[in-house]
A = this chain, B = another copy of it.
Amino acid sequence: MGREAVLDVLSRTEDHLSAEDIYMCVHETYPAIGLTSVYRTLDMLVNIGLVYKFDFGDGRARFELAEGPKGKDHHHHLVCTDCGRIVNYRDFIDEEVALLKKTEEGLSKKYNFAITNHLIQFYGLCEACRKK
């Protein structure tokens, strides 16, 4: 079962890997594994909540380990709209976390949503892309 292998690959990087990226990594250790199994495993891991699935607009899904005991810390993203570079940003301003929590509570009541997660991304131009 490639579940361990996939989680292992994801735990070793800060990048946002595509299914095929992961496939190639796992393939080095388990040459027998197929791309289909990677997709299947990722799908399961996302459903369980161990892995997050993102779309950064480049036509393929990207994955990262969810926060948790073995996971990375919770973070948000800075996305360059020109080159696609993605920065993991986890140094939140103090008030930021508090307000986020407060907002979630307000929304939960008002719209009768049981909020479990959020996605926050800032878009702009990275330094390199600004200079060309």
One of A14-22, A63-71, A115-123 at the interface: A115-123
In the complex, the count of this chain's copies comes to 2
Given A99-B95, A99-B96, A116-B81, A111 contacting B123 (CB threshold 8 A): no
Q: Number of contacting residues on A, CB 8 A?
A: 38
Distance in Å: Cβ of A128 to nearest Cβ of chain B: 9
- Where the two chains meet, the residues of A that have a C-beta atom closer than 8 Å to any C-beta of B are 53, 55, 57, 78, 80-81, 87, 89, 91, 93, 95-96, 99, 102-104, 106-108, 110-127, 130
> 7 A–B contact pairs at CB < 8 A?
A78-B107, A87-B113, A96-B99, A104-B122, A112-B130, A113-B126, A114-B130
